[in-house]
Amino acid sequence: MKLKTIAIDDEPLALRLVSDYICKTPFLELVGAFDNPLDAIEFLSSATADLIFVDIQMPDLSGIEFARSLETAPKIVFTTAFEKYALQGFKLNAIDYLLKPFSYEEFLTAAQKARKQSELEANAHTSIEANNQFLFLKSEYKIRRINFDDILYIEGLKDYIKVYTTGEDKPVLSLNSMKSLEQKLPESRFMRVHRSFIVNLEKIDTIERSRIIFGKTYIPVSDQYKDKFQEYLDKNFL
């Protein structure tokens, strides 16, 4: 399996170097090289990429802003001459962070991390379809298995999702969109009740005034999803 890969850097020499590194790596396929992240965004509107090597400090749009702009983000490796941006890259769940000037060996290590994660996700997807019991989420450089039975509800933020589960004090935080997660959850067990919330139907105990109550948390059922939720209640109401 080859990873479709894009290089983005406003410096011509740096862009050529990363492009050459991609071309000489057997499991990578160079599908685009851009000196402007806006051109890359336009490309991605009609094409797909598995992995992106992107510089951070660029005019018009930084690499950080570029990564945040992608609704379904491919795997990201940040390249930069400034070490101070490492924390921001970490918060965006980047695969790796390459400090310029970097060698092919360093580049290859980052690329291999991306390949390994892609393989894990592919295996996880197969498992989900086979048993419909769990999914895998990347959280803080780790891949976490989340059992459907353990999920209480999911909250969507601007760039992240929070998965609240039984038996854990803190939610699992992952760089993902609500739309992509919703597509992977079984419809018979989970329902979106608000732009920012998906609930596990099997965990609902109390409903009060169009609000679902999980402990001290009150989740509103918005008008957009009210009819569908009411239909579920009617089918299970005594």
- Whichever domain contains 104, its CATH number is 3.40.50.2300
Is residue 130 pLDDT above 90, yes or no? no
The total domain count for the chain is 2
Integer Cα distance of 133 and 58 in angstroms: 43
Sorted by sequence, the CB contacts under 8 Å of residue 216 that are 6+ apart come out as: none
Same domain, residue pair 146 and 82: no
- Does residue 200 or residue 120 have the better pLDDT? 200
Same domain, residue pair 113 and 8: yes
- Does residue 130 or residue 224 have the better pLDDT? 224
Same domain, residue pair 166 and 56: no
Same domain, residue pair 32 and 141: no
Q: What's the pLDDT score for residue 200? A: 95
Tokens for 31? 């599908």
Same domain, residue pair 109 and 215: no
Same domain, residue pair 117 and 7: yes
Is residue 122 pLDDT above 50, yes or no? yes
Among 114, 95, 98, smallest CA distance to 25 is for 114
State the residue range of the domain holding 88: 3-125
Domain boundary, last residue among 78, 98, 125: 125
Is residue 111 pLDDT above 70, yes or no? yes
Among 34, 42, 41, smallest CA distance to 11 is for 34
**Mean pLDDT calculated for residue range 66-70:** 85
Is residue 141 pLDDT above 80, yes or no? no
Integer Cα distance of 154 and 162 in angstroms: 6
Confidence bin at 128 (pLDDT 50/70/90)? very low
Is residue 113 pLDDT above 70, yes or no? yes
List pLDDT tens digits, range 33-45.
Answer: 999 999 999 999 8
Domain boundary, last residue among 125, 142, 175: 125
**Mean pLDDT calculated for residue range 163-170:** 89
**Mean pLDDT calculated for residue range 178-184:** 85
Q: What pTM was estimated for this model as a whole?
A: 0.56
Q: What's the pLDDT score for residue 88? A: 57
**Contact by Cβ (8 Å): 56, 65:** no
**Mean pLDDT calculated for residue range 3-27:** 96
Same domain, residue pair 107 and 149: no
Q: Which stretch of DSSP H or E encloses residue 122?
A: helix 104-131
Range scoring the smallest mean pLDDT among 49-53, 122-126, 153-157: 122-126
Is residue 54 pLDDT above 80, yes or no? yes
Confidence bin at 119 (pLDDT 50/70/90)? confident
CATH of the domain at 186: 2.40.50.1020
Is residue 52 pLDDT above 70, yes or no? yes
**Mean pLDDT calculated for residue range 84-105:** 75
**Contact by Cβ (8 Å): 25, 7:** no
List pLDDT tens digits, range 17-37.
Answer: 999 999 999 999 999 999 999
Query: CA angle, 136 as apex, 233 and 143 as ends, to 5°?
Result: 140
**Contact by Cβ (8 Å): 138, 117:** yes
